[in-house]
Structure 1
Amino acid sequence: MQCHADSTQTEDRPEAEQDESPLLAQQTSFRTGLCSARCGLALVLHVSLFMAYSLRVGLSIAIVAMTNSSIPHGSSSISPNSSHRGSAQGGVIFPAQYTLWAKWAPPLERSRLMNIADAGCTFGTFCALLVAGIICQSLGWPFVFYIFGGVGCAWCLCWFLLVYEDPAHHPWISAGEQEYIMLSLAHQGSSHGRSLPLVAMAKSLPLWAIAIACFCTDWLFYMLLTSMPTFMSNVLHFSLTENGLLSALPFIGNGLGHILTGLLADFLLARQVLGTAAVRKLFSALGMLFPAVCLVAVPYIGCSSTATVVLLTLALTIISMTGAGININHVDIAPRYAGFLLGITNTFGIVSGIIAPTAVGLLVSQDLQTGWRNAFFVSAALNLFGLIFFIAFGSGTIQDWAREEAAVQREPPAREALPSAFAHQKEHRSMDRS
């Protein structure tokens, strides 16, 4: 199967407009299916992140069981404070994933492919919160390590067998899909090699917009994840069993939200309803503004524990919409450096994750009711500030410092400009068929 590119229309359009609506908008799409290599990569990454987060949460629960002489449902009240993106990355997981997607995800499919993979984080956390506690109570805490670690080791073997650096090196990808992916990414250039434009990065407002938005939205995320069990216990007076279930429930909504918003974002881009920058800002606005509104509303709903739980669950569910916004924007503005940039912006998120629980503790220690109200207000205000900054300075186009040399960039993304590795492999396939 061959894809058909209308290179004439692409060449006539301005360069910035080509970045907003790339070559994919003018060619027949190689339809995504469960058998496509890029969809298979999304599923493999989903399971990998599922396993990574299961190990993290399982470890946090097993540690409590190890240090306690008995387990009086202690696992049910565990706060999943080590299960968020920043702590599971140990500096490598998400940057490595973004580097892969820069070579595998066509611009009009980035949202759904990357969000399908990211959903493994929340589903893994939810399952581990439920399963690890049962294992500790029924079999003992050592079996958490045996079971989770054994499955993780087995999955590592699958990872090395199933994942390849780029379409050109994948042995089972079809020629049509390979050509489709590499044509759609031809305009973004190759990997950066050893050099990094650090000074230009430091001066880039679109990059600062992502970093500041990540700091602000991660503050709210961390604050809810680490403090919600305490709030439910001390303010709403839920039992330990109810606390554990309600603390895990938002992860289902968050995971489903990642998948659905990814599909919707790609739909808007494919239909050319909005450009790349507009889509990223729209989903960032929805994912940052509505959770802030929910937090502001919590102190004013009185003693209704049901309404409070609904608002907090909605806040953690809707914040998943930033997955199709600021999170993917790294690949939009600098696909060649996506992994490195994710490492930078994630550092901002980790810092907020360290500060937020400490700030909540200080505020609550002064006065319970007033402290929680102020904690919610501070998180909402930071989210609003981060959103305004991202809307003002965010971008959806590849930045000048992230482009290849001007001579290379002037070449139209036509078939004759395909990377040499792909051309060599295509010739090799033709010889095999003959």
Structure 2
Amino acid sequence: MVEEVPAKGNVLGRCVPARYILAVLGSLGMAIVYGLKVNLSVAMVAMLNHTAIALASSHGSAHNLLGNNTHNASLNVEKCAAPDDDGSGEPQDGPFDWSEPLQGTLLSCYFWGYIVSQIPGARVAENYSAKWVMFFSVAINVICTLLTPIMTKIHYVGLIILRVLEGIGGGATFPAMHCMIAAWAPPNERSVMSTIIYVGTAFGTAKSILTAGILAGKFGWESVFYVMGGFSCLWMILWVILVQDSPNTQSLISYEEREMINSQLGTTESKSDEKKHPPVPWKKVMTSVPFWAILIAHVCSNWGWYMFLIEIPFYMKQVLQFNVSKNAVASALPYYPMFLFSIILGKVLDTLKAKGYFSTTVCRKTATSFATLVPGVCLLSLCYIGCHRDAAVAFMTFGIIGMGGMFSGFLSNHIDIAPNYAGTLVALTNTVATLPGIVVPLFVGFITKGNQNIGAWRVIFFVTIVLFAIEFIVFTLFASGEEQPWNKTSSKTDAEQVEHNESTPLKNTNASCPAPENNI
């Protein structure tokens, strides 16, 4: 049993409520995890010995070199003319001559740990402490990042181990933060708080792309891991001091804010410190239509997300012939306006809901519509604009900005339908939705192998557009923002059982003992 902590007032006064301190620190935590996740992709350019790898791949294959030259010449009709070189030149050689299959393994092994840790992380967060699950998730990523230069120099197997451990830490972040949102966010602020927290994933990705590139170019690839890992340690100190699992265990909060959150969530101080953990009604979850709507939307959206995050930069390099520096800037900058758009959209939807104009269901479907229709139209435009680079960058930017709607759309919907199991539900959907992160690079590589032209990329874009359409149709028809009956089924069953035992004490062999208050 967790004892209630007296409210001593917010550390930053009334201007920044305690729940938004949680949201900002949660966003920074997500930014750290996702930033450290992608830093290897950027640093690897400086880590590889490109000359040795090229020689090894072409050794004894003179006829392939001739064939490739002929083949590439025939495909140039569907590529854009290269712009003027900016003088950046080819990347300098690093110390590692890893083969392309090994490079793919090193980049993908993060997802091995990411997939397996989500459901266990969710149950620990729900049953014990979401705050500490989030803390250790970030701590694992920070420690592994700081150890990366040392372990990589010993053997690449050391890097694989570290990346798997980082994935294990990263997999628990979404379930942990969903539990925190369920405990802290009033229903009329759920969209904006969820958006503030989860948009940190986009912010961290963009920041890491730019920062890692600068550090690797000026100070060497080791600096990427030492600097980014070192600065992340500050977050862990702030998180431990300023964040607690619920308003009633947080001392740095005003009495008025605590009362407001408790009243809007339907909790009371006397009940909140007795944290009940009913078992997950798995059968009812798996037969819930609103849950399946979220699952399908999450999987389809992640396919599009990874397409924009990972593969669009390759399209800009292979087809539009952007140089390295311009490609990095064009790939990273859209995430900053996405950050602003996502927060504004979440705030607008919460305001409309609070005034009674929109229901929770309409809010979720509206936000998800932005996240599907806008990027779908932008990808369709990319199929037919040819070599207009400025237009391509504009469509890519608007597509990424539109995808920001997912944070106040389906990603917040788990908490609406079942706040008691929010961590478990997002773990389930995010586990399945992680598969596109593995499949998308393989799919794109298969379609573009020896065929890196506009025609091949049209096929890729059309597949993504179809998945966006499926997401839009399924979520619009079947999603719900209402709490589902099975969210409280277990609790009601326990209460009925206790009442039954008290009314028939002779049937209880331990009748002299008081009935337990919960089923922990």
Greater alpha carbon shift after TM alignment, 124-133 vs 321-330? 124-133
* Alignment check: 8 A CA contact 2:290 2:480 kept: yes
Shift of 1:406: 4.5
Residue 308 of structure 2: aligned partner = 224
In structure 2, distance between residues paired with 1:108 and 1:121: 23
Which of the numbers 334, 337, 343 marks the counterpart of 1:250? 334
Shift of 1:69: 7.2
Residue 234 of structure 1: aligned partner = 318
Residue 202 of structure 1: aligned partner = 286
Secondary structure in 2 aligned to 1:164? Answer: coil
Residue 482 of structure 2: aligned partner = 397
In structure 2, distance between residues paired with 1:252 and 1:214: 22
* Alignment check: 8 A CA contact 1:205 1:393 kept: yes
Secondary structure in 2 aligned to 1:196? Answer: coil
Shift of 1:297: 1.7
Which of the numbers 259, 262, 266 marks the counterpart of 1:186? 266
In structure 2, distance between residues paired with 1:246 and 1:181: 41
* CA deviation profile, 1:349-390 (whole Å, cap 9, x unmatched): 211222222222222237422211111111011111121111
Residue 364 of structure 1: aligned partner = 448
* Alignment check: 8 A CA contact 2:294 2:429 kept: yes
Letter in 2 for 1:402: N
Greater alpha carbon shift after TM alignment, 190-199 vs 94-103? 190-199
In structure 1, distance between residues paired with 2:188 and 2:494: 23
- In the alignment, does 2:365 pair up with 1:384? no
Residue 125 of structure 2: aligned partner = none
- In the alignment, does 2:366 pair up with 1:268? no
Secondary structure in 1 aligned to 2:410? Answer: coil
Letter in 1 for 2:266: A
Letter in 1 for 2:417: I
Residue 318 of structure 1: aligned partner = 402
Which of the numbers 350, 374, 379 marks the counterpart of 1:295? 379
The verdict on how the C-alpha distance between 1:53 and 1:337 changes in structure 2, with shifts beyond 3 A counting, is same
> With structure 1 as the length reference, what TM-score do the two structures score?
0.80
Residue 124 of structure 1: aligned partner = 204
> With structure 2 as the length reference, what TM-score do the two structures score?
0.67
Shift of 1:192: 5.8
Secondary structure in 2 aligned to 1:35? Answer: coil
* Alignment check: 8 A CA contact 1:56 1:88 kept: no
* Alignment check: 8 A CA contact 1:111 1:263 kept: yes
In structure 1, distance between residues paired with 2:379 and 2:351: 30
- Structure 2: stretches of 5+ with no match in the other structure: 1-12, 52-87, 93-102, 116-166, 497-520
In structure 1, distance between residues paired with 2:14 and 2:211: 31
The alignment-based identity, stated in percent, is: 35
In structure 2, distance between residues paired with 1:308 and 1:137: 27
- The alignment's C-alpha RMSD in Å is 2.9
Greater alpha carbon shift after TM alignment, 60-69 vs 219-228? 60-69
* Alignment check: 8 A CA contact 1:301 1:307 kept: yes
Shift of 1:333: 0.3
Shift of 1:395: 0.6
Residue 100 of structure 2: aligned partner = none
Which of the numbers 202, 219, 232 marks the counterpart of 1:139? 219
* Alignment check: 8 A CA contact 1:47 1:120 kept: yes
Matched residue count:
376
Residue 111 of structure 1: aligned partner = 191
In structure 2, distance between residues paired with 1:226 and 1:251: 13
Within a 5 Å distance, the mapping from 1:271-282 to structure 2 comes to: 271-282=355-366
The verdict on how the C-alpha distance between 1:73 and 1:181 changes in structure 2, with shifts beyond 3 A counting, is farther
Shift of 1:95: 0.7
* Alignment check: 8 A CA contact 1:118 1:258 kept: no
Shift of 1:74: 4.7
* Alignment check: 8 A CA contact 1:210 1:345 kept: yes
In structure 1, distance between residues paired with 2:320 and 2:14: 46
- In the alignment, does 2:404 pair up with 1:352? no
* Alignment check: 8 A CA contact 2:199 2:404 kept: no
- Structure 1: stretches of 5+ with no match in the other structure: 1-31, 411-434
- In the alignment, does 2:253 pair up with 1:173? yes
